[in-house]
Structure 1
Amino acid sequence: MQLTPLPVGFGAEIAGVDLRQADAATADLLRSSLLEYGLLVIRGQSFTPAEQVAATRLFGAPEVFPTVRGQLPEWPEIFRVASRPEDGHVEVGRYWHSDGSFRADPTPISFWYSEVRSDEGGDTLFTDLQQAYATLQPDIQQEFATLKTAHRNGVVHPLVLRHPKTGVPALYLNLGLTAGVLGYSPEHSRALMDAVDRHYSRDGATYRHHWLPGDVVVADNLHVAHQATPITPATRRILNRTTVRADGVIWYDAERKAA
């Protein structure tokens, strides 16, 4: 397995691995790499739905989703995102977010597999939430560290969320599902969210992934956020996404490996 860091300061491309045949040592390396880099890009994979679910289990127990139009009834672990409604969910996630942030225990890991790629459009943007916090002015860091945000469903999270494994703080905000900042007026909340949106998108801070057939991208949702870009139904694209439950995640255990 070869690892090459991406040039944006987070994320890494992994080569020389077939996730269908990953042994325990390879799984440990993948998990430790995800914990360090926040994002893994693994090209040239080939999955059936069963094989994708099995590969997801290298990182933990998958979440399940209700079956609706465009989904795979026999595979509730797979959430299909597509350019056409008959193929999956459309027009989703076109704002900075981390999957499952609406849960009281946020979804820690997302895993995408490119089943059908488009020739044009549909790229996904990623940004480093830990660097987003680290690059704030100290007085703004101090202010943000005291704030909490409320999702539209009432779930509350700190604006500065510490990673449950590493303890590194991250600027954690879902710009589409957050109702506001606790204690702030709607206008003040909107101004803060707009400022965070711009900060996530600052020059040099984002990685843009153009999907190729067989691409796998794995994201630590507590380290990076992502944003979908527009795609037209005139071109067909399908991404199969699986996610790991907070109570089932497998983080790399450096202490155990050192013992």
Structure 2
Amino acid sequence: MTKKISSKRDLPNSFSLEKYDDLENMSDKDLFRQLYWRCDDLTIKNTDCPDYGLQYGAKYPLNNNFGDPFGELKAEEWFLEKQKEYEYKTQPDLLKLSYGDGIKPLMRFELAFLNKINADKGHWKGKPIVVDDDLVGDLFTADNGMFWAVMREPVNLLSDVVENVMISVDLNNRDDLLIEAFTNLLPKWREELGIPEPDKPVSGDWESVRRKIIDYRIIPLIDLMSWESATDSKISLGVLAVSLFPDGEKESFAIAQTVKPFLDKIIRSDSLDKIRKELS
């Protein structure tokens, strides 16, 4: 049952806005680290230590799982040893193709996954997406037009379980032609598959973003919301207002309409990646 937090007195004793005073004078990279290391705190419940961030304030320690976003700080020794063990166990690393954000080569993982799925749409609804030679042979022999109707069905239209778009790219074409085709096809695929384009990352340069992180009290807000989630509580906007803005700089309406929407955008991976690249 959700516990309503309607008074500042109901917040954990570990919360103190003064713990975050050092954020104002931090270097750009150190301030970003404090945000970056908290990026999962709103989605993963820390029930073992609900007020973890509140305890540390502006001194939130390096998150071993994420490491340093700038590659300048080392993780704890025990974690580095675990990494070495994992890297040893995953050897040998034989075949690789380059990949980028949102684009990677088809791997055996995907093929093994497809091999277990039945189509829930299309001409062969209920049959495996990956058809065997006997079924294909029977289709071809029948010579009734079904061979091409079945074999040319796009995999992504056969089952909603298939999340990534399965495509083939012919690199024998010139780059400019491929880029033009991809640009034209993207909006069509989104419409045909019902996948909306994601919101754009946070706008503005780092200076304006930095100012908002501090002025909107984004770091302590994350810690309070993380505690809220881990304890199945619900902090009222009024309590957030008096706790984060004791001098009345922001009221409940501003938190709901301005501060929280900014937090939702800044904590996304594409926004964090954009800022990291700008500061690197």
TM-score range, shorter chain: under 0.3
Superposition TM-score, scaled by structure 1 size: 0.24
Greater Rg by CA: 2
Which structure shows the higher strand fraction?
Answer: 1
Which structure shows the higher helix fraction?
Answer: 2
